[in-house]
Amino acid sequence: MKAAITAVGGYLPPDLLTNADLEKMVDTTDEWIKTRTGISTRHILKGEGLGTSDMGAEAVKQLCAKRGITPMDIDLIICATVTPDHQFPATANIISDKIGAKNAWSFDVGAACSGFIYALTVGTQFIESGKNKKVVVVGADKMSSIVDYTDRTTCVLFGDAAGAVLLEPSEDETGVLDSILKTDGTGRNYLYQKSGGSVNPASAQTVLNKEHYIFQDGQPVFKAAVVGMADVSAEIMEKNGLSSEDVAWLVPHQANLRIIDATARRMGVGNEKVMINIHKYGNTTAATIPLCLVDWENQLNKGDNIILAAFGGGFTWGSVYVKWSY
C-alpha cells in the first residue's frame, strides 16, 4: 500500500514585511538581501493571541474544502514546527481542536527546516501499514515569534506561513515512493534557540540575553546545506534509477536561493523545473515545501516525478521521492 498526496492547502498571513521595511529597522540593504538570499518580502502573522496553530488550521481547512471532506474525516494530524503554540501540548492537538477534527489523533514532529519531509515520511507509514486512511501533514511556523528584529543576520531571512497535504491510500502506482532522511547532531550549535528548553530554562536573564531568539552561525550552515541537500537529492535519484530528464520538479526547502541553485545543478535539473517562491515568502521553515506544492498545484500532472529536498537545524536533511497522484 502506497500513500498518495490527494490534496494540498496553504495559509499566508496578510501582513507583509519588505526589504524596504527592514532597511529602516537594521543596517541592511535591499541589494544585500536579494543577492545573498533571493528574498524580497515575507508574510508576518500579526494579532493578539494568534500562533502557529491558527495558520495550520486555515491550511487544513483549505485542504479539506478542496478534497470535499470535513475535518471529522481525518484520522491523524501531524504538525512539523519549531514554533509550537506552547512547549506542550502539541500544536497538532490545538489544530485538531480549532478545526473540529474530533476523530483524529495528533502529534508534532520537530526537525527544524526538514520538519515537513520528516513528518511526511512519518505520516506515510500510517497509510502504508493500513492503520489510518486519511493523514494530514502540516508544516507551519510563526518564525516572527522567535526572530530578533535587531539582528540583521537573521531577521531578513524568515517569514510566517503554513502548508498542509492530505495522504490517502493510493489507488495506483503513484504516491510517496521513497525517502532518505539524515541527522547529524554535531551541527546543533550552529542553528538553534539557546534558551527555553530543559538545559537552559527561560529566566529574566535569558530573555535579557535574547537567548529565546534564533541563533544562527550562517556560514557553516550554508556550507553543510549546499553539500547535504545536493548530495541527498542526487542519492535518491540514483537509488530510484531517475535521470534528470525523468524528474519533473525539484521542490527545495526555501532557505537561500544559492543553496537551491547548487542542489539543482548537482541533480542536473534546469531552472524551469525548480519551484522557487523564496522571493515572496522568505524562509518559512516547515512550511516552505507544502507552500510550493500549493503554488504549483495547477502545473502538476498525474505521474510527475517530484523530488522534495530540505536541510535545516540539527543538522537534519533529506529528500523524498513522490510520484504525483492527481
- Given the rule CB under 6 A, which residues bind ligand UT7? 28, 32-33, 36-37, 113, 152-153, 156, 218-219, 221-222, 225, 255-256, 259, 283, 311-312
Give residue 49's region: left, alpha or beta (phi > 0; psi -120 to 50).
left
Residue 52: count other Cβ atoms within 10 Å of its Cβ.
31
Instruction: Indicate if 113 belongs to the active site.
Output: yes
Q: Which residue of the chain is nearest ligand UT7 when measured via CB?
A: 218
**207 vs 146: CA distance, rounded Å:** 12
Instruction: Indicate if 292 belongs to the active site.
Output: no
| Catalytic residue (choose from 19, 253, 256, 292) | 253
Nearest approach, Cβ of 311 to ligand UT7 (angstroms)? 6
Nearest approach, Cβ of 199 to ligand UT7 (angstroms)? 21
Nearest approach, Cβ of 141 to ligand UT7 (angstroms)? 10
Nearest approach, Cβ of 138 to ligand UT7 (angstroms)? 18
Q: Which three cell numbers stand for residue 244?
A: 534528470
Whichever of 91 and 316 has its CB closer to ligand UT7, that residue is 316
Whichever of 116 and 311 has its CB closer to ligand UT7, that residue is 311
Nearest approach, Cβ of 259 to ligand UT7 (angstroms)? 6
Whichever of 45 and 255 has its CB closer to ligand UT7, that residue is 255
Distance of CA 47 to the CA centre of its chain: 23
Whichever of 96 and 256 has its CB closer to ligand UT7, that residue is 256
Instruction: Indicate if 283 belongs to the active site.
Output: yes
Whichever of 145 and 240 has its CB closer to ligand UT7, that residue is 145
| Catalytic residue (choose from 64, 113, 155, 292) | 113
- Give the active site residues: 113, 253, 283
